[in-house]
Chains A and B, each alone.
Chain A
Amino acid sequence: MRFFEYEAREIVKRAGIPVTDFGFTTDAAQARAIAERIGGPTVIKSQVLTGGRMKAGGVKFADTPEEAARHAADILELEINGHMPRGVLVDPKANVKQEYYAGVVWDGTAKKPVILFSDMGGIDIEQVAEEHPDHVGRVHLSNLMPISDHKAKECIAQTGVTGKALQRLTPIVRRLAQLFVDNDMVLAEINPLCEMHDGTFVALDAHMDMESEARGRHKQLLKDLGVGDDETRLAREPTPFELAGEEVDGSDHRGVAGNVTEFDGNIGLVIGAGGGSLTLFDAVRAHGGEPANYCEIGGNPSVQKTCGLAKLVLTKPGVDKIAVMMSIVSNTRVDIVARGVIKACLELGFDPAEKIAIFRIPGAWEEEGFKILAKYGIEYADRSVSMHEAARRAVAKIAGPDAVAV
């Protein structure tokens, strides 16, 4: 779960890392007040969860509080990459001597956090790593040992930084590593980390991303920051169709009929299991089909929940038929899913044989499931029909034989 810059800076500040005297607001008049308090040139920064705000005009400089207010008013109205800003951050314009980079991420191969440090801050760290590998320090952290200063020091020293700067940077980087661990972050980054002309250091921008699974352990922090429980902070906001999908999934506790994602196509998909859904979605597209949605059924959901999901997909504008497909199931039951999707058709006043283009779910309770499907005249397939072949048949039936890519 990504944080806005103003939230990330607050997290950095709480960890004992020096930050500027910034202010956040959703209101232009208030931006003026913050600029007055700061008393000098300011920077007004759009608070959006997307990159490229500088280029888009989402960052502006102001010499006076009035100018700050004008810029704030403009930026608050400015959409960037489809995102409206949450507000603006008003920051004192910093008198910077040198920019550094400090970040902590997970190394999935080492299965440990890794501290990254560079004396070339202010630009993308991946670019620095590629073009100037000797300017990037890397040190892994133990998951079991306490985080100590020497790890941070080693990382910084790898880039050749020494003297007073090394001494002053060490506790900052150690605290960043500590906050990464303490807050279950998957990314904690200060860029730029600035050395001012008076030799002090200050975090000028920060990116933080908390692991979604760990949100429950950080309720107080999230409450303090004003992050709502319903804020997904995904790459894009959920659509009404997707929210309706969440509602279906939450309708009872049995199993999962979730992760409904909207697409533009006409092939309604009631598909399942994590890997099965990924495979089938690819298979439909490989055969020239355009899915109307993605979803994941798993954990043996109730008939009612499956019915709800099927109804949602069947009533999506542009969808005429659904394809019900999964990899071989061992927990989710074939007969229960069959009942759910047939019920959905019947309750909407449709003929299941007409609306279900193909049903390919082999596995647990398939004997019973196939009896149900046979009774309603639905085309079904057992495990001898591959997932890709089932997807091909679905595309042929829904989009027409001409649509099928070979």
Chain B
Amino acid sequence: MRTDGVFIGIEVDDAALAAEPGLARHLDTVCPVDIYKEVGDGGLEIVERNVDECVLCRLCLDLAQLDVGQDAVRVLKLYDGGATLE
């Protein structure tokens, strides 16, 4: 799943979401600017209008790392040639 704002792109691995039912809820809880929203049971919606509010806090990356391991969530700096937030 991928949603791009003007400045920030968000990529969430659909397979990871399917494999880890708690991931969507955790993302919803952890994001300080409400980019992630859990829908239904374990489904995830990326809230389009909040994507550019991303403060590059890495909380979602750390959380995905804990939940499912490498690269399940990627934050892209579209203003920096699409560089991923490390």
Do chains A and B make direct contact within the complex (CB under 8 angstroms)?
yes
| A residues apposed to B, CB below 8 Å | 302-304, 333, 335-336, 339, 342-343, 346, 368, 371-372, 375
Provide the residues of chain B in CB contact with A302, threshold 8 Å. 33, 53
Asked if B19 CB lies within 8 Å of chain A CBs, one says no
Question: In the complex, which residue of chain A has the Cβ closest to the Cβ of B81?
Answer: A375
| Contact status A375-B79, CB under 8 Å | yes
Partner of A343, one of B6, B77, B80: B6
Neighbouring B residues of A303 by C-beta, 8 Å: 52-53
* Residues in B whose Cβ lies below 8 Å from that of A368: 56, 77, 80
- Whether a CB of chain A sits under 8 angstroms from the CB of B55 is yes
Chain A residues near B49: list those with CB within 8 A.
304
Query: What's the dominant secondary structure at chain A's contact region?
Result: helix
How many A-B contacts at CB < 8 Å in the complex?
Answer: 27
**Interface pair B55/A343, CB less than 8 Å apart:** no
- Complex CA–CA separation, A74 to B50 (angstroms): 56
Which of B7, B55, B80 makes the CB contact (< 8 A) with A333? Answer: B55
CB-CB under 8 A from B33, the residues of chain A are 302
Chain B residues bordering chain A, tally (CB within 8 A): 11
Question: Whole-angstrom distance between the alpha carbons of A346 and B6 in the complex?
Answer: 9
Q: Are B55 and A339 in contact (CB under 8 A)?
A: no
Q: What is the CA–CA distance of A342 and B79 in the complex, to the nearest angstrom?
A: 12
Cross-chain contact A339 with B6 (CB below 8 angstroms): yes
* Inter-subunit contact A372/B7 (CB<8 Å): yes
Report the bound CA distance from A303 to B79 in whole Å: 15
CB <8 Å contact, B56 and A339: no
The CA-CA distance from A303 to B56 in the complex, in Å, is: 13
Bound together, the chains give a CA A333 to CA B33 distance in angstroms of 15
Q: B53's contact among A304, A342, A372, by CB below 8 Å, is which?
A: A304
Bound CA span A304–B34, Å: 13
Q: A371-B80, A372-B79, A375-B79 are in contact. Are A343 and B56 (CB under 8 A)?
A: no
Chain B residues with CB below 8 A from A335, complex form: 56
Starting from the known contacts A335-B56, A339-B6, A342-B7, 10 additional A-B residue pairs (CB-CB under 8 Å) come to A302-B33, A302-B53, A304-B49, A339-B7, A339-B52, A368-B77, A371-B77, A371-B79, A371-B80, A372-B7
Rounded to whole angstroms, the CA-CA distance of A375 and B82 in the bound complex is 12
Report the separation of the CA atoms of residues A308 and B64 in the bound assembly, to the nearest whole angstrom: 33
Q: How far is the CA of A335 from the CA of B33 in the complex (A)?
A: 15
Q: Report A351 CB to chain B, min CB distance, Å.
A: 14
- Beta-carbon nearest neighbor of A374 in chain B: B79
Closest Cβ neighbor of A372 among chain B residues:
B79
Cβ-closest chain A residue relative to B56: A368
The distance from the CB of B76 to the nearest CB of chain A, in whole angstroms, is: 13
Residue of A nearest to B83 (CB): A371
CB distance from A370 to the nearest CB of B (A): 10
CB within 8 Å of A: which B41-58 residues:
49, 52-53, 55-56
- Residue-wise, chain B 29-72 has the 8 Å CB interface mask toward A (1 for contact) of 00001000000000000000100110110000000000000000
Contact A336/B55 with A342-B6, A346-B6, A372-B7 known, Cβ cut-off 8 Å: yes
A165, B53: Cα distance in complex, Å? 68
Q: Once the chains are docked, how many angstroms separate the CA of A336 from the CA of B33?
A: 12
Instruction: Tell me, rounded to whole Å, the shortest Cβ–Cβ distance linking B53 to chain A.
Output: 5
Chain B residues positioned under 8 Å from A375 (CB to CB): 79-80
Give A339's nearest chain B residue, CB to CB: B7
Query: Within the assembled complex, what's the spacing in Å between the Cα atoms of A335 and B52?
Result: 11
> Distance (Å) between the CB of B28 and the closest chain A CB?
19
Tell me, in angstroms, the Cα distance from A368 to B75 when the chains sit together.
Answer: 14
- In this complex, the member of B53, B56, B77 whose beta carbon has the largest number of chain A beta carbons within 10 angstroms is B53
